[in-house]
Amino acid sequence: MPTSKSDPESSTTPATTTWAWNRAGAAFTDMMTPTLRLGVTGLSRAGKTIFITALIRTLLSGGRMPFFLPEAEGRIERAYLEPQPDDQVPRFDYEGHLAALARDPADWPESTRRLSQLRVTIEFRSESSLRRAFGVSKLHVDIVDYPGEWLIDLPLLNMDYAAWCAEAVTQAVAPRRQAHSKAWREFLATVDPYAPHDEQLALRGAELFADYLKAARAEDHVLHTTGPGRFLMPGELAGSPLLTFCPLNLDPSIPYGRNTNAGMMARRFESYKNHAVKPFFRDHFSRLDRQIVLVDVLGPLNEGGDAVVDLEHALSSVLSVFKIGSGSWFSALFTRRIDKLLFAATKADHIHASSHDRLEAILRVIIDRAMGRAVDSGAEVGVQALASLRATREADAKVDGELLPCIVGVPMPGERIGNQVFNGRTEAAIFPGDLPANPRDALKPDAAPAGLHFVRFRPPRLLPPGADGESPPLPHIRLDRALDFLLSDWLA
């Protein structure tokens, strides 16, 4: 069969040879393109989904990023999405989250409920003249999103069933949990851990324990727990027998047999670790190169010292299992180590800029012990206050002759301050209050609530591209600094 001269596969012209070499070179370059796996997580309502959405949108479309040096220096050629690299991991629904922001009025994207991932490829010009001689460089950034509720499971790897029971039962009688745990604790008082195992008892106990955890979290979203996290966010394990166990009142001096209630619960506790926690740790968490932990500090501050101490305990427990430290590129081929760890206090747009430094200082004190472990093992640690999508602007308002630093935005419908209930359409100027000048005051267990006034604001609406085809940049606070900390050295 004759061949077409327009078919590059069948021609040996110089142009075709050049095309073939270029294609082979592109394939080789893609195969050799380094990949950075960036983990994004945080505890309840920290803003993981909107952070990832804003990060991707900013990389793809550009924006005001004076402190993201590769962009500020004009070295980023382009960024684009690539097919999901891991077939077994759901894709992060970036387009769906953008659609929520494009509605009128705009809505916040749905929160993280399962593990997901998305790959962004960045083409850039290197700072190195040697690397520039080989043309434009590329970097794959695999963004791994996982619920903070799963993160709280990692400390279970260092616990046996008896230790977990002791901690969970102690937590349940704490003042902020007593009302929520009442039904479960009344049930627990009727259970003999050493009686022959009873499947219906396990089902009922797990149901009441999960109800207690969910009720406590729904009413007090700053409340943290030892887990299991899948009781709060089951993901693909919803309805699984792996979730049919609960803590029991054990006497450490009395051993329990395999076929007792305690023995049955202990087996399922170990099964939960083996089939839910360890695979997540092995297949995803332990493969991360960089990690950002998003933290809602303002919520606990407004609840008082006990809530802040609770947050400190949760972060210290979780971060004790991070596999962090520096390593050479050669060792990275065989074992991943998190070499940069960023803690970000989110919702910085809920307070005036004059308080941002105080917010960072409070977060730094909260994670001080965990940061010490990270630094000792060689990881570079950063702390920032940020708002990945800014929903407010700043203004000064005179009240009773006093000039107060306020924030201005449209509160979500149903939000309230005192007797004022907002309708979701009207803009309001709010004085959020002052953060403590001494960050250590926030960690005193008997510290009074900070007297802050927080409401949820509507996000700014995502506008369509203009006549020039350019998409308007998203407003943010220090998102560029976060990108610089996490990515810039890979784009040098």
For residue 12, the model assigns a pLDDT of 52
Q: What is the mean pLDDT of each run of 10 residues along the chain (492 residues)?
A: 43 52 48 89 86 95 89 94 91 95 91 89 88 82 88 84 94 89 96 96 95 83 73 81 93 93 96 91 87 91 83 76 53 62 94 94 85 66 95 89 91 91 93 90 80 87 80 91 97 94
Cα–Cα distance between 363 and 136 in angstroms, integer?
A: 39
Cβ partners under 8 Å of residue 159, min gap 6: 167
The pLDDT value given to residue 332: 45
Model pLDDT, residue 304: 83
**pLDDT score of 22:** 47
pLDDT of residue 197: 96
For residue 62, is it left (φ>0), alpha (ψ between -120 and 50) or beta?
Answer: left
* Three-class SS state of 323: coil
**Is beta strand 290-295 parallel, antiparallel or unpaired with respect to 35-42?**
parallel
Q: What is the pLDDT of residue 283?
A: 85
- Helix (H) or strand (E) run with residue 416 in it: strand 416-417
- Largest Cα–Cα distance of the chain, in whole Å? 91
Q: What DSSP state is assigned to residue 286? A: G
Q: How many angstroms from the chain centroid is the CA of residue 233?
A: 14
CATH match for 33-146+284-390+475-491 among 3.30.559.10, 3.30.420.40, 3.40.50.300, 3.20.20.140:
3.40.50.300
**Annotated domain spans of the chain:** 33-146+284-390+475-491, 158-278
pLDDT at 151: 78
CB–CB of 233/149 below 8 Å? Answer: yes
Grouping H, G, I as helix, E, B as strand and the rest as coil, residue 409 is strand
